[in-house]
Amino acid sequence: MYEVEVKVAADRSGVADRLDELGATQTGDVVQVDTYYDAPHRDFAETDEALRVRRETSDDDTEARITYKGPLVEAESKTREEYETGVDDGETADTIVEKVGFSPAATVEKDRRFYRYDGYTITLDAVEDVGEFVEVETETDEDGVEAAREGAYEVLRELGLNPDKQIRTSYLGMLLEDA
Protein backbone atom coordinates (compact mmCIF):
# COMPACT_ATOMS: atom_id res chain seq x y z
CA MET A 1 0.00 0.00 0.00
CA TYR A 2 1.20 3.52 -0.78
CA GLU A 3 0.35 6.67 1.11
CA VAL A 4 0.16 9.67 -1.24
CA GLU A 5 0.51 12.88 0.73
CA VAL A 6 0.90 16.53 -0.23
CA LYS A 7 1.71 19.01 2.55
CA VAL A 8 1.82 22.82 2.54
CA ALA A 9 2.28 25.43 5.23
CA ALA A 10 -1.04 27.19 5.89
CA ASP A 11 -3.16 28.92 8.50
CA ARG A 12 -5.39 26.21 9.97
CA SER A 13 -8.36 28.45 10.77
CA GLY A 14 -8.61 29.86 7.24
CA VAL A 15 -8.48 26.38 5.73
CA ALA A 16 -11.06 25.11 8.22
CA ASP A 17 -13.42 27.89 7.11
CA ARG A 18 -12.90 26.92 3.45
CA LEU A 19 -13.49 23.24 4.22
CA ASP A 20 -16.79 24.19 5.88
CA GLU A 21 -17.76 26.19 2.76
CA LEU A 22 -16.98 23.15 0.57
CA GLY A 23 -19.11 20.86 2.75
CA ALA A 24 -16.20 18.72 3.97
CA THR A 25 -16.93 16.40 6.89
CA GLN A 26 -14.94 16.94 10.07
CA THR A 27 -14.04 13.51 11.40
CA GLY A 28 -12.13 14.23 14.60
CA ASP A 29 -9.46 15.97 16.62
CA VAL A 30 -6.45 14.24 18.16
CA VAL A 31 -3.15 14.95 19.80
CA GLN A 32 -0.35 12.74 18.50
CA VAL A 33 2.99 12.21 20.19
CA ASP A 34 5.38 10.39 17.85
CA THR A 35 8.68 8.95 19.04
CA TYR A 36 11.04 8.30 16.13
CA TYR A 37 13.91 5.85 16.33
CA ASP A 38 17.39 5.56 14.83
CA ALA A 39 18.39 2.12 13.58
CA PRO A 40 21.61 0.45 14.75
CA HIS A 41 22.32 -1.08 11.33
CA ARG A 42 21.69 1.83 8.94
CA ASP A 43 21.17 5.59 8.94
CA PHE A 44 17.46 6.30 8.42
CA ALA A 45 18.28 9.92 7.55
CA GLU A 46 20.34 8.64 4.61
CA THR A 47 17.88 5.92 3.54
CA ASP A 48 14.84 8.21 4.04
CA GLU A 49 13.09 5.63 6.22
CA ALA A 50 11.36 6.03 9.56
CA LEU A 51 10.31 3.87 12.48
CA ARG A 52 7.99 5.42 15.03
CA VAL A 53 5.75 4.65 17.96
CA ARG A 54 2.72 6.94 18.03
CA ARG A 55 0.44 7.71 20.93
CA GLU A 56 -2.83 9.27 19.83
CA THR A 57 -5.23 10.83 22.31
CA SER A 58 -8.80 11.88 21.59
CA ASP A 59 -11.63 12.31 24.08
CA ASP A 60 -9.47 11.01 26.96
CA ASP A 61 -8.77 7.76 25.08
CA THR A 62 -5.18 6.94 24.06
CA GLU A 63 -4.20 4.41 21.41
CA ALA A 64 -0.72 3.40 20.29
CA ARG A 65 0.59 2.31 16.89
CA ILE A 66 3.97 1.32 15.47
CA THR A 67 4.81 2.40 11.92
CA TYR A 68 7.55 1.79 9.38
CA LYS A 69 7.79 4.31 6.53
CA GLY A 70 9.86 3.46 3.50
CA PRO A 71 11.79 5.94 1.37
CA LEU A 72 9.96 8.38 -0.89
CA VAL A 73 9.08 6.75 -4.20
CA GLU A 74 8.59 9.86 -6.37
CA ALA A 75 9.75 13.45 -6.58
CA GLU A 76 6.30 15.04 -6.97
CA SER A 77 4.81 14.21 -3.54
CA LYS A 78 5.50 12.50 -0.22
CA THR A 79 4.51 9.06 -1.49
CA ARG A 80 6.01 6.09 0.28
CA GLU A 81 5.31 2.54 1.34
CA GLU A 82 3.92 2.43 4.85
CA TYR A 83 3.21 -0.40 7.29
CA GLU A 84 1.36 0.30 10.52
CA THR A 85 -0.29 -1.74 13.23
CA GLY A 86 -1.83 -1.10 16.61
CA VAL A 87 -0.09 -2.05 19.84
CA ASP A 88 -1.72 -2.50 23.23
CA ASP A 89 0.79 -0.37 25.11
CA GLY A 90 3.00 2.36 23.64
CA GLU A 91 5.44 2.21 26.55
CA THR A 92 5.97 -1.51 26.03
CA ALA A 93 6.42 -0.98 22.28
CA ASP A 94 9.09 1.65 23.03
CA THR A 95 10.87 -0.77 25.36
CA ILE A 96 10.83 -3.58 22.79
CA VAL A 97 12.20 -1.32 20.04
CA GLU A 98 14.95 -0.06 22.35
CA LYS A 99 15.84 -3.57 23.60
CA VAL A 100 16.54 -4.72 20.02
CA GLY A 101 18.98 -1.86 19.52
CA PHE A 102 17.02 1.11 18.21
CA SER A 103 17.48 4.44 19.99
CA PRO A 104 15.05 7.35 20.30
CA ALA A 105 15.93 10.14 17.85
CA ALA A 106 13.25 12.76 18.51
CA THR A 107 9.65 13.29 19.55
CA VAL A 108 7.16 15.19 17.39
CA GLU A 109 3.96 16.52 18.98
CA LYS A 110 0.97 17.48 16.81
CA ASP A 111 -2.51 18.82 17.39
CA ARG A 112 -4.53 17.53 14.42
CA ARG A 113 -8.02 18.07 13.02
CA PHE A 114 -9.22 15.64 10.34
CA TYR A 115 -11.68 16.17 7.49
CA ARG A 116 -12.92 14.01 4.61
CA TYR A 117 -13.46 15.65 1.25
CA ASP A 118 -13.68 14.25 -2.28
CA GLY A 119 -12.15 10.90 -1.28
CA TYR A 120 -9.19 12.46 0.57
CA THR A 121 -8.27 12.96 4.20
CA ILE A 122 -7.38 16.58 4.89
CA THR A 123 -5.46 17.14 8.09
CA LEU A 124 -4.96 20.54 9.70
CA ASP A 125 -1.81 20.31 11.82
CA ALA A 126 -0.27 22.46 14.52
CA VAL A 127 3.17 20.96 15.11
CA GLU A 128 4.98 21.98 18.28
CA ASP A 129 8.13 24.02 17.53
CA VAL A 130 7.51 23.73 13.75
CA GLY A 131 4.30 25.50 12.65
CA GLU A 132 0.89 25.03 11.00
CA PHE A 133 0.30 22.85 7.94
CA VAL A 134 -2.33 21.21 5.78
CA GLU A 135 -1.90 17.65 4.52
CA VAL A 136 -4.04 16.10 1.78
CA GLU A 137 -3.61 12.35 1.56
CA THR A 138 -5.02 9.04 0.43
CA GLU A 139 -3.90 5.45 0.09
CA THR A 140 -3.54 3.61 -3.20
CA ASP A 141 -1.71 0.81 -4.92
CA GLU A 142 1.38 1.43 -7.02
CA ASP A 143 -0.63 1.95 -10.22
CA GLY A 144 -2.77 4.69 -8.67
CA VAL A 145 -0.02 6.96 -7.34
CA GLU A 146 -0.06 9.55 -10.14
CA ALA A 147 -3.86 9.92 -10.19
CA ALA A 148 -3.97 10.16 -6.39
CA ARG A 149 -1.28 12.87 -6.41
CA GLU A 150 -3.07 14.90 -9.08
CA GLY A 151 -6.31 14.60 -7.10
CA ALA A 152 -4.54 15.85 -3.97
CA TYR A 153 -3.24 18.85 -5.95
CA GLU A 154 -6.79 19.64 -7.06
CA VAL A 155 -8.07 19.49 -3.48
CA LEU A 156 -5.34 21.92 -2.43
CA ARG A 157 -6.36 24.30 -5.21
CA GLU A 158 -10.01 24.11 -4.05
CA LEU A 159 -8.77 25.09 -0.58
CA GLY A 160 -7.03 28.14 -2.06
CA LEU A 161 -3.57 26.63 -1.55
CA ASN A 162 -0.78 26.25 -4.07
CA PRO A 163 0.46 22.67 -4.59
CA ASP A 164 3.68 24.10 -6.05
CA LYS A 165 4.53 25.20 -2.49
CA GLN A 166 4.39 21.68 -1.11
CA ILE A 167 6.86 20.62 1.54
CA ARG A 168 8.36 17.18 1.17
CA THR A 169 10.33 17.33 4.40
CA SER A 170 8.75 15.38 7.26
CA TYR A 171 7.80 17.07 10.52
CA LEU A 172 10.68 15.14 12.08
CA GLY A 173 13.07 16.55 9.48
CA MET A 174 11.79 20.08 10.04
CA LEU A 175 12.09 19.72 13.80
CA LEU A 176 15.67 18.43 13.51
CA GLU A 177 16.59 21.24 11.06
CA ASP A 178 15.43 23.83 13.60
CA ALA A 179 17.30 22.15 16.49
| Active-site choice (2, 36, 153, 171) | 36
* Tens of pLDDT, residues 23-77: 999 999 999 999 999 999 999 989 999 999 999 999 889 999 999 999 988 888 8
CATH of range 2-178; options 3.40.50.720, 3.20.20.70, 2.40.320.10, 3.30.70.20:
2.40.320.10
The answer, yes or no, to whether residue 117 has pLDDT greater than 80, is yes
Instruction: Name the amino acid, one letter, at 65.
Output: R
Distances (CA, A) of 42 to 35, 45, 48, 50, 103: 18, 9, 11, 11, 12
pLDDT of residue 123: 98
Residue 36 annotated as catalytic: yes
pLDDT for the residue 76: 84
How far is the C-alpha of 37 from the C-alpha of 39, rounded, in Å? 6
| Domains in the chain: boundaries | 2-178
Mean pLDDT calculated for residue range 101-105: 96
**Across all residues in the chain, what is the average pLDDT?**
95
pLDDT band for 179, please (50, 70, 90 cuts): low
